[in-house]
């Protein structure tokens, strides 16, 4: 090429001191970061003494281009400056393997090097020296061609440091793919395919990763300030808005947490179980967005705060959990659900030592598809068997047996990942977790609050500038759904499917969604039979099963005196809602209404109420039914014990029958005459005086001298009885007043909620109108 003009891109490269060239950029019209120099001859000529260049940079670029053809890397070695003005007047470029490593440098002499670099310098003498002329041009003053090492073949030259450069078009493509959420490995695959081979790409995956990291940091600098400005504005608008940075603003390390007043208030009502959602960690900047979520009284996802983490170290998670706990007034949840991650587990153990930590089962199922893809391809039925083993086992022994049979069947006993999740089985397999509250209606049903709160709003392409607009839209949408659910609960009545007072009671307490779930359990009791299998005097055990399915029986232990029941399925402990098995026992034992301790406030329409209502007295009819049920069950329980003991022998039978006849007469008299029992002189005495009959007759042989004293005692008993009746009447009035008062308070609270719903509907209508 005679008198040709060469253009070399000397933009940002990957080396510390070498210039990076891409020969495909020759004759590029881009004016930025390029320089030109003119030479005589062909492009493949080698340097020689006396060769001239327009600038020092042109000489450097030429030598680097020559090195790329030959198969070695270059770097700048030394320079000489003018004594007059300090300008560089001579420069030497050498082979990267020139010289030897100095092992006595101060920076390495006195400290241990964790990852020592490989030795690359072998004393090669190959070099090019140039010096400036009076004309301003640079001339080659020295050139050493020979190397003392093997040169790199053409298909590996792209790995040499001075030849690794990310060209402008490659940067544009990387930026585009990074914005779509792709990682360095996948991006390199695209580039290799696009350029026709790794040697034509011109850089390595490490260079791509470093470029993406630097690009992320440059892009984030401005957006991080937007984030801080947003949080400051929110706090200025409402001082109850909480946010915290790890470190102060001058030494901000990029980790931030915030919670608005609604999130804090919602945690006070529904913070018994929490999900720490890490499914949004992949976004444009690979910046983990981590929301804390839960479930409200309608079973809808509710937010308890959010965080951004620059790094996902254990220290970062410990800081985040401590900060979140501070925002929530230091009250730890009963349970927390996260992905299967050892770093997160370690941080939770430190911050929430008394909180039950569960790994998300559905994340593990997803991982199973990745880690066992070869098994799934070879054995299509494995996944269904795996799910059945995890979800349907009713006891830990059954699960252990099923698991070992499964891994043996498919020869997976030595599989590393399966072994790891088996070791952690107590933290994700449902049968080990049923005794802890997680607010889920079924152990086999996926929780709605996992990976759903921001779905449709936040995704991999969301940048920080867009994030808060979409974040606020998500909050607004969730709030509208909650308002709608409140409105439906307060203003419409569900269809009752049974004449049961318990169903009516539940329809008045529970929110609509929770009532529908309870109704499903209640109706299902009609297909179950409850049979008494044991009675130890205090607790009666029932076997509950569908007709003909005794092999699938559940066991319910019922203490009639305390009105407490526990089922082997542990649904109430897990979800806070009574199961069909306990309800079936209630049906056969004539328990007509739900005992108050089985109605969790967090599932009721008054879950957010500041007025604490005593459910036992808010409804006089339900109160009567409950107290009547308690009396009935207590008497029946004692009667069964009496019958068992009385039937032992003929003598005990005669005594029992006589006692029953006497008791029957007394009960009949009490029922007919509303007789009252009074205590006098340590003896029970009937003080009814109907028809002039006293039950306290004198013995036939008693003298008249004691009649005045007897009359005095009778008068005293009569007075005590009158006062007792008056006290009971007063207590009844107080109970009525108390019931009416709580009814009024309940009506006030319901009215407040209706007004709140109407106000929100008006706001939404006005907003839609605007």
d(CA 482, CA 486): 6
Confidence class for position 9, pLDDT limits 50, 70, 90:
very low
* Alpha helix (H) residue ranges in 110-246: 168-179, 184-195, 198-201, 205-237
pLDDT, position 229: 86
Confidence class for position 225, pLDDT limits 50, 70, 90:
confident
Do 585 and 555 form a contact (C-beta atoms < 8 A)? no
**CA dist list (Å): 437 to 365, 434, 558:** 22, 8, 21
Task: Check pLDDT > 60 for residue 144.
Answer: yes
Of the ranges 86-100, 170-184, 652-666, 723-737, the best mean pLDDT one: 86-100
Do 1 and 41 form a contact (C-beta atoms < 8 A)? yes
pLDDT, position 43: 54
Pick the range with the lowest mean pLDDT from 23-32, 39-48, 649-658: 23-32
SS3 619: coil
Question: Span 490-514, mean pLDDT?
Answer: 93
Would you state the structure tokens that stand for residue 173, as one six-digit string? Answer: 């493509």
pLDDT, position 30: 33
pLDDT, position 287: 56
User: In the sheet where 256-259 sits, what is the strand order?
Assistant: 242-245, 256-259, 301-308, 289-295, 273-276, 335-338, 356-359
Q: Which residues pair with 559 in a beta bridge?
A: 564
- DSSP states along 541-573: EEEEEETT-GGG-EEEEEETTTTEEEETT-HHH
Higher pLDDT, 517 or 640: 517
pLDDT, position 506: 95
d(CA 139, CA 55): 9
Question: Span 255-259, mean pLDDT?
Answer: 92
Q: pTM of the predicted model, to two decimals? A: 0.61
For a pLDDT cut of 70, what percent of the chain falls above it? 75
What is the torsion angle, in degrees rounded to the nearest 10, for the CA atoms of residue 402, residue 408, residue 413 and residue 417? -60
Task: Check pLDDT > 80 for residue 736.
Answer: no
Question: Span 338-351, mean pLDDT?
Answer: 94
Confidence class for position 120, pLDDT limits 50, 70, 90:
confident
Which helix (H) or strand (E) covers residue 92, if one does?
A: strand 88-95
What is the torsion angle, in degrees rounded to the nearest 10, for the CA atoms of residue 756, residue 761, residue 766 and residue 769? 170
- List pLDDT tens digits, range 642-656: 777 878 888 888 888
SS3 274: strand
Q: Which of 590, 611, 588 is nearest to 601 (CA)?
A: 611
> Would you give the end-to-end CA distance of the chain in angstroms?
70
pLDDT, position 160: 81
Question: Span 650-663, mean pLDDT?
Answer: 84
What mean pLDDT value characterizes the chain? 79
Confidence class for position 352, pLDDT limits 50, 70, 90:
very high
pLDDT, position 242: 96
d(CA 486, CA 491): 8
Confidence class for position 32, pLDDT limits 50, 70, 90:
very low
d(CA 328, CA 305): 9
pLDDT, position 690: 36
d(CA 714, CA 694): 9
């Amino acid at each position: 090429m005679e008198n040709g003009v060469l253009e070399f891109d000397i933009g940002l490269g990957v080396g510390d001191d070498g210039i990076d060239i891409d020969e495909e950029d020759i004759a590029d019209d881009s004016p930025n970061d390029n320089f030109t120099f003119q030479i005589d001859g062909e492009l493949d000529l080698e340097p020689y003494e006396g060769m001239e260049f327009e600038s020092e940079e042109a000489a450097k670029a030429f030598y680097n281009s020559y090195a790329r053809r030959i198969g070695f890397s270059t770097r700048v070695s030394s320079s000489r400056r003018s004594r007059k003005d300090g300008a560089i007047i001579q420069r030497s470029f050498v082979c990267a393997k020139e010289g030897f490593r100095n092992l006595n440098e101060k920076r390495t002499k006195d400290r241990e090097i964790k990852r020592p670099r490989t030795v690359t310098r072998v004393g090669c003498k190959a070099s090019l020296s140039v010096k400036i002329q009076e004309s301003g041009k640079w001339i080659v003053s020295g050139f050493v061609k020979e190397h003392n090492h093997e040169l790199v073949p053409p298909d590996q030259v792209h790995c040499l440091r001075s030849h690794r450069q990310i060209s402008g078009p490659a940067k544009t493509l990387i930026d585009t793919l990074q914005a779509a959420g792709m990682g360095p490995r996948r991006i390199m695959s695209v580039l290799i395919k696009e350029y026709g081979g790794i040697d034509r790409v011109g850089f390595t995956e490490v260079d791509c990763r470093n470029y993406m990291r630097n690009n992320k940091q440059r892009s984030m600098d401005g957006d991080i300030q937007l984030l801080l400005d947003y949080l400051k504005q929110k706090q200025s608008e409402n001082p109850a808005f909480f946010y915290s940075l790890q470190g102060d603003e001058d030494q901000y390390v990029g980790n931030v947490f915030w919670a608005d007043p609604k999130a804090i208030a919602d945690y006070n009502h529904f913070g018994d179980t929490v999900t720490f959602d890490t499914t949004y960690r992949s976004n444009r900047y690979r910046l983990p967005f981590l929301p804390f979520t839960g479930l409200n009284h309608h079973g809808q996802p509710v937010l308890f705060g959010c965080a951004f983490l620059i790094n996902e170290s254990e220290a970062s998670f410990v800081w985040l959990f401590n900060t979140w706990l501070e925002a929530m007034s230091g009250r730890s949840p009963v349970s927390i659900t996260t992905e299967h991650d050892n770093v997160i587990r370690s941080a939770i153990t430190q911050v929430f030592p008394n909180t039950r930590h569960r790994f998300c089962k559905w994340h593990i199922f997803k991982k199973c598809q990745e880690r066992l893809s070869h098994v799934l391809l070879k054995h299509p039925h494995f996944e269904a068997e795996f799910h059945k083993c995890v979800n349907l086992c009713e006891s830990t022994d059954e699960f252990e047996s099923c698991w070992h049979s499964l891994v043996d069947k498919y020869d997976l006993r030595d599989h590393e990942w399966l072994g790891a999740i088996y070791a952690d089985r107590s933290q994700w397999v449902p049968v080990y977790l049923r005794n802890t509250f997680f607010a889920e209606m079924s152990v086999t049903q996926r929780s709605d609050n996992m990976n759903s709160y921001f779905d449709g709003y936040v995704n991999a392409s969301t940048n920080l500038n867009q994030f808060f607009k979409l974040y606020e839209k998500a909050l607004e949408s969730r709030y509208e759904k909650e308002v709608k659910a409140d409105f439906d609960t307060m203003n419409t009545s569900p269809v009752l499917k049974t004449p049961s007072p318990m169903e009516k009671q539940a329809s008045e307490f529970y929110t609509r969604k929770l009532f529908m779930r309870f109704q499903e359990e209640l109706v299902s009791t009609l297909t179950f039979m409850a049979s008494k299998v044991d009675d130890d005097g205090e607790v009666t055990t029932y076997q509950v099963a569908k007709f003909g399915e005794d092999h699938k029986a559940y066991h319910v232990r019922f203490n009639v005196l305390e009105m407490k029941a526990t089922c082997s399925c542990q649904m109430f402990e897990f979800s806070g809602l009574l199961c069909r098995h306990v309800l079936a026992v209630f049906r056969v034992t004539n328990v007509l209404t739900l005992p108050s301790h089985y109605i969790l406030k967090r599932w009721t329409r008054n879950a957010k109420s500041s007025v604490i209502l005593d459910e036992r007295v808010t409804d006089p009819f339900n109160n009567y039914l409950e107290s009547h049920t308690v009396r009935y069950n207590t008497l029946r329980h004692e009667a069964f014990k009496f019958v068992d003991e009385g039937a032992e022998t003929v003598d005990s039978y005669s005594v029992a029958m006589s006692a029953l006849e006497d008791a029957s007469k007394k009960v009949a008299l009490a029922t007919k005459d509303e007789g009252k029992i009074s205590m006098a002189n340590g003896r029970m005495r009937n003080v009814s005086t109907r028809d002039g009959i006293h039950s306290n007759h004198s013995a036939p042989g008693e003298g008249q001298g004691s009649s005045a004293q007897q009359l005095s005692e009778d008068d005293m008993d009569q007075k005590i009885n009158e006062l007792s009746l008056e006290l009971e009447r007063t207590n009844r009035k107080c109970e009525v007043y108390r019931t009416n008062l709580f009814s009024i308070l309940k009506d006030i609270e319901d009215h407040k909620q209706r007004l709140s719903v109407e106000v929100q509907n008006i706001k939404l209508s006005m907003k839609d109108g605007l």
